[in-house]
A and B are shown apart, each in its own frame.
Chain A
């Protein structure tokens, strides 16, 4: 966009130079230089119209949620869900975070939040660490049967989770991790493996082989090449893997509800228990606030890493 005015200036300069030599040949109104474009062309109206409609479609529910969460119950009962709050109150947010009751505990979503954090951090780090080494080995240190090994790993991605739920319950029970956070971390790490390994293998496979050869001539071994050459070059793919894992694990409901027990439930399970509780009045404002709170972590990750992501790609795009 910033280039456009300069281009016009440029073409005008060129035009002036032309006119001094061959001014007579230019008929007024005949096509010359940059082709003019209408701002309100049918094409533009269609494109921008569609974009505005689609973004409204996505943003309207969010608007309703935010507005409702800031209203008191009497105001909600009037029934106009699109109206902005007359009297702004943060009470529903406080209640959702610290006071809402799920089962026996009445300390709100905060418990679930910290459980989720305790699940998220080790699962993300562990799964990315293992999968990146897997991908690196499969891409650069081909061994006999490495392709078969990779194929088996990928098949794992296509087996429905439902099939594995019960066997894993037994497995975790046998190793004494059933109902604990570390058990859930283990499950997340294993289930993240196929897709992350594929991701890293393909990325490391695209790194020029000569770089790897040069490092071998320079006497670097398996770990040395991994840590000193490959990892520093691969920030973008680590960010992509992190986004995938953080959103996947944070939003997980199924594994959370199966492999942990009530006081260790992750935030999503607890949110469900608050929103779907059948006792008493439905507090829509609290439910809305609780839902937004739960969605806040993936949202933040998108905003923060989006920037890093672009920077990572830009840094990686410059050829060594």
Chain B
């Protein structure tokens, strides 16, 4: 895959504060990359650096093979969509779409053609003569996407574009953005703090923390094989259950924690074999089984239900089991009540083991 964007040793600091530290990233042609992280992790800052809206302190940025490190935002071949839509309030939707093209000095006929084409793709043709104030939130964000679309850019940058919308519109527009990417096959970089958006849209997800990328992988990999405890904890809702304990290596390695010992048979260690030492064991609530399945599971736990959250499709239950608190995702039809004693189980193959000190995956 040919690289569409490559970022080399990028760093940015405001005075003594390092926001981005020696960051490297390669994004393939037509790839949909999501930058995911909690607020303050530097994901929006990275996007603004790529767009050229922030002056970087060190490193290089290439877009389409061209070194754009010192280029103006408008000369980088990008289109950008913002969280607050950022539509020019005094212009009509048509005016908003054509503003950038007029600045670029394109002939009128071509501007009209491009605006019409973008409006058609986004189904905002009837709205072209309206002012942004007369649009709903979803229509505004569609117009904002249109403004990026008319630029015929190689790369689209989205800065939390759906965060201002209500839940239903967000889901609708998420699907539209995915379809748009399939139709246009441009490179897209999408910043969000919403893991559902990240999982559903991305070809690859970059999870960021403290100005660094912790893991860059496909959604499947990130979900199933998180590279460290932070990523494991960040992805998934409810969050992964963690047991604090230690590994006893050798043949038939075991994980020892307060009141339990879990055989790690079937767990795929990064290094090939288990090494003794303090560690975390994590298991997702949805990877735990209950009822008859639990009886045959390699690892079994007994616990008392202390909280039930019925979601319709699933039921979440919080158990206490010998000093541990864990969430379990049960079938939506399961009938559980507070105080019930139930047995849950899991397979070590679905678990995640992290080193206690480095918090990296073992």
Contact = CB atoms under 8 A, between A and B. Distances in A.
Chains A and B form a bound pair: yes
What band does the interface of chain A fall in when counting residues whose beta carbon is under 8 Å from B? Answer: 10 to 19
Contacts of A217: 51, 53, 73-74, 78-80, 100
A210 B84 contact: yes
Contacts of B357: none
B74 A218 contact: yes
B104 interface: yes
A175 B147 CA distance: 51
A54 interface: no
A220 B103 contact: yes
8 nearest A-B residue pairs (beta carbon): A320-B89, A219-B74, A218-B100, A219-B103, A210-B86, A214-B86, A232-B90, A210-B82
Contact of A216 (B53, B147, B151, B159): B53
Interface string B231-260: 000000000000000000000000000000
Given A213-B53, A216-B73, A320-B132, A229 B78 contact: no
Given A219-B100, A229-B88, A318-B133, A214 B74 contact: no
A208 B100 contact: no
B83 to A, nearest CB: 7
B99 to A, nearest CB: 5
Interface in B29-61: 48, 51-53
Given A216-B73, A320-B133, A233 B99 contact: no
B28 to A, nearest CB: 23
A211 interface: yes
A319 B83 CA distance: 14
A231 to B, nearest CB: 9
Interface in A192-211: 208, 210-211
B82 A216 contact: no
Given A218-B74, A224-B103, A213 B90 contact: no
B86 A216 contact: no
Interface of A: 208, 210-211, 213-220, 224, 228-229, 232-233, 318-320
Interface residues of B, number: 29
B87 interface: yes
B85 interface: yes
Contacts of B86: 208, 210-211, 213-214, 320
A319 B164 CA distance: 13
A217 B51 CA distance: 8
B148 to A, nearest CB: 8
A229 B89 CA distance: 9
Given A216-B74, A219-B74, A320-B88, A210 B99 contact: no
23 contacts: A208-B86, A210-B83, A210-B86, A213-B48, A213-B51, A213-B73, A213-B80, A214-B87, A215-B88, A216-B53, A216-B72, A216-B74, A217-B53, A217-B80, A218-B100, A219-B72, A219-B73, A219-B104, A220-B74, A224-B103, A228-B99, A320-B89, A320-B133
A233 B162 CA distance: 25
Contacts of A220: 74, 99-100, 103
Contacts of B51: 213, 217
Interface in B200-236: none
A320 B88 CA distance: 7
Nearest to B84: A210
Given A219-B104, A320-B132, A320-B133, A214 B82 contact: yes
User: Interface SS of chain A: helix, strand, loop or mixed?
Assistant: helix
A318 B99 contact: no
Given A213-B73, A224-B103, 15 more contacts: A210-B82, A211-B84, A213-B86, A214-B86, A215-B99, A216-B72, A218-B100, A218-B103, A218-B147, A219-B75, A219-B100, A228-B99, A319-B133, A320-B86, A320-B133
A215 B78 CA distance: 13
Nearest to B159: A210
Interface in B144-168: 147, 151, 159
Nearest to B148: A217
A130 B195 CA distance: 48
Contacts of A318: 89, 133
> In this complex, which of A214, A217, A318 has the most chain B Cβ atoms within 10 angstroms of its Cβ?
A217
A213 B90 CA distance: 17
Contacts of B79: 217
Contacts of B73: 213, 216-217, 219
Nearest to B135: A320
Contacts of A214: 80, 82, 86-88, 147
Contacts of A319: 89, 133
B214 to A, nearest CB: 27
B157 to A, nearest CB: 8
Contacts of B90: 232-233
Given A218-B74, A218-B99, A233 B89 contact: yes
Nearest to B54: A213
Nearest to A316: B89
A84 B73 CA distance: 71
Contacts of B159: 210
Contacts of A211: 84, 86, 88
B91 to A, nearest CB: 8
Interface in B75-120: 75, 78-80, 82-90, 99-100, 103-104
A285 to B, nearest CB: 50
A217 B88 CA distance: 13
Interface centre among A208, A211, A218, A318 (most CB of B within 10 A): A218
A282 B147 CA distance: 71
Nearest to B74: A219
Interface string B62-75: 00000000001111
A264 to B, nearest CB: 41
Nearest to B103: A219
A173 to B, nearest CB: 46
A214 B150 CA distance: 14
Nearest to A216: B73
